[in-house]
Amino acid sequence: MARPKLSFFEEEPLTVSIPRLSRLTGVSEGTLYLMANQGTLPGCARIGKRWVVHLETFNDYLKKGADLSSEENN
């Protein structure tokens, strides 16, 4: 019997945690948390005690040529 096709939400999440985003991008968790707390991390929102990042918004930010390395030096 064939497996049922997964829905969009099961294939690719809309949001990820900051630790997961760090693993995906190679940017340190510290830099990402710093940007989140400063309100400069695109697509980032706090839900309760947890930060989540909307992947599409963050990817658009990267496509525009974002330079996260300058954040690490501040």
CATH number for the domain that contains residue 60: 1.10.10
Q: Residue 34: its pLDDT value, please?
A: 97
Q: Which of 59, 58, 65 is nearest to 36 (CA)?
A: 58
Q: What is the pLDDT of residue 65?
A: 83
Domain annotation covers residue 45: yes
- Find the distance separating the first CA and the last CA of the chain, reported in whole Å: 56
Structure tokens at 37: 């707390």
How do residues 6-65 score in pLDDT, each as one tens digit?
555 567 789 999 999 999 999 999 999 999 999 999 999 999 999 999 999 999 999 988
The confidence score (pLDDT) of residue 49 equals: 94
Total count of domains within the chain: 1
pLDDT value at 5 more than 80: no
pLDDT of residue 38: 97
Q: Is residue 74 part of a domain?
A: no
